[in-house]
Structure 1
């Protein structure tokens, strides 16, 4: 098990539920539920979703898992995004009334009476973070939420939030090719005793070496990201080749190496780290779990560390949508 902040204990690896929505193409609900059950069967009991995923349908899907296995799952969900990022619409809301409303709606969709970890998905630029976290703290006092989290906040925003209520985890993109959080956010989290939950730890599948730029569907959300644009994706294949080289040397897959790198970075930087790769394939879940047996030596870590500086394209089309654009 891994300890994040505020004494929140989770499985060493989590599962990102967004993959089980149509953002990467059509998904079969029955197969998606079977994938969730397989994750829990395999020992991944930290399940992450959000009210915006599938317009609430992802929470309903997770709710079907919880109906039989609530006591086995550490449940995380999020609120705060009011637009549809999959369609390029980015807006957020964090006023007290909305916080309380969203929590009740999520609890109903999930079919449970308590959320283990409740995140602010994106900061509302028109509402002080103190007001948002204060309302989230009311949910803790009411017994509807146990732990609080924040997604894509800066170090300063994290400090302001912690002054209101303990924060268990920051969830932001962090991987071999996305390392901007290491400048300020990760050190602040380590100092404050806050854990870190990297989303897209496999670069939305890119770092696995299985992404063909010509195979992305028209409705694939990755087409909205600069790194997956024409030209950039092909240029970034060089990064994958470096990962493949390390993977071959240690007898692992590129995905396993990418997750092992994150695990070792957490140890190096002094904070609990629980990546939440998402997938639709049950065999990928087993592959990801096996990353716990992969150990990288200092030279291999240094080789992987060099990749981020070579990447073409920003990690978000809207710089202020992620923490790096507000630092």
Structure 2
């Protein structure tokens, strides 16, 4: 599988990454999915300390222990579990980040994290202090690089201006083109890459398509619009590509995208996604066709 560089780092990640949130908490099942990902050439694995009270990190770390020097492990910080473990609150403080990284390292069973990401962010955060924490962790060798996971243009702009982030994880798909207007141009200008999540739009852009549609619709699409647009997308590409293929290739058509992160709860999903990523890139005509059928969504909040 092809690899792409992440921003100004020396990290080269597979074009398809494995989002580990949906992994089973049963180690044997999770191991099978991760082993399949490795077989398909995936080297980028994305977890977070929030998932399954940290158990997800433990499973990912244990499953990748035998190939640690060959993979890129990304995890996240900022959502802090309460003492009763019945909920979490946002804590981007320097003190908490420097405490949390050590717990993540222990759970992952490694002495460094390749990409440490702030799991959110607001303009009310002590941003300078947060950046200081990540810079110190980098200097101390606990992390190789850092980034943020955010869809807020105003927050992304602050980190692009003030920090040395190499990546931004954000939601992006044919049905969620919000990054096109502001985020993508800004990140291209600053040599910061995107790691996309939600490329299949909660399954709407998988081969199951309308089976995943709900009465609530999706973002600014009504259920009625989805019932019109999704079959049209399938029809236009029926002779040449699967829906999953055009969805993942749409993300990869953006040079600023380093990796498309997709979750998988079954081995078959890994195989299907890997096959889609290995397909031929979309042509300019195909991209124009997709753009003519879907909406050029825009961020209505967190712009300034």
Task: Identify whether the pair has TM-score above 0.5, normalized to the shorter chain.
Answer: yes
Aligned to 1:319: none
Aligned to 1:6: 8
Distance 1:107 1:227, change over 3 A: farther
CA distances 1:252-277 after superposition (whole Å, capped 9, x unpaired): 2111111111111x13xxx2431101
CA distances 1:181-236 after superposition (whole Å, capped 9, x unpaired): 111111111000001011011112221131565x89xxxxxx8x95369x955652
Give the drift of 1:295: 3.1
- Could you tell me whether the CA contact under 8 Å between 2:177 and 2:296 is conserved in 1? no
CA distances 1:77-135 after superposition (whole Å, capped 9, x unpaired): 01112379xxxx78422011111111111111111110000100111554222211111
Aligned to 1:150: 148
Distance 1:32 1:164, change over 3 A: same
CA distance in 2, matches of 1:48, 1:324: 28
CA distances 1:22-70 after superposition (whole Å, capped 9, x unpaired): xxxxx64321221011101210010001111112111111011122221
Aligned to 1:134: 132
Query: SS of the residue aligned with 1:208?
Result: coil
Distance 1:272 1:173, change over 3 A: closer
Gaps of 5+ in 2: none
1:297 to 283, 291, 295: 283
Aligned to 1:96: 94
Aligned to 1:309: 295
Which one has a larger percent strand, Structure 1 or Structure 2?
A: 2
CA distance in 2, matches of 1:119, 1:73: 17
- Could you tell me whether the CA contact under 8 Å between 2:22 and 2:263 is conserved in 1? yes
Give the superposed CA RMSD. 2.8
CA distance in 2, matches of 1:226, 1:233: 6
- Could you tell me whether the CA contact under 8 Å between 1:205 and 1:211 is conserved in 2? yes
Structure 1 stretches of at least 4 aligned residues deviating more than 3 Å after TM superposition: 153-156, 162-165, 225-229, 231-235
CA distance in 2, matches of 1:245, 1:205: 18
1:245-260 equivalent positions in 2, closer than 5 A: 245-250=235-240, 252-260=241-249
TM-score (norm 1): 0.81
Aligned to 1:107: 105
TM-score (norm 2): 0.87
CA distance in 1, matches of 2:101, 2:237: 42
Aligned to 1:287: 272
Query: SS of the residue aligned with 1:75?
Result: strand
Distance 1:233 1:102, change over 3 A: farther
Distance 1:76 1:300, change over 3 A: same
Which one has a larger percent helix, Structure 1 or Structure 2?
A: 1
Q: How many residues align?
A: 294
- Could you tell me whether the CA contact under 8 Å between 2:119 and 2:149 is conserved in 1? yes
1:1-327 equivalent positions in 2, closer than 5 A: 1-7=3-9, 8-20=11-23, 28-82=26-80, 91-210=89-208, 226-227=216-217, 232-233=222-223, 235-250=225-240, 252-264=241-253, 266-267=254-255, 271-291=256-276, 292-309=278-295, 325-327=301-303
CA distance in 1, matches of 2:60, 2:190: 31
CA distance in 2, matches of 1:233, 1:108: 45
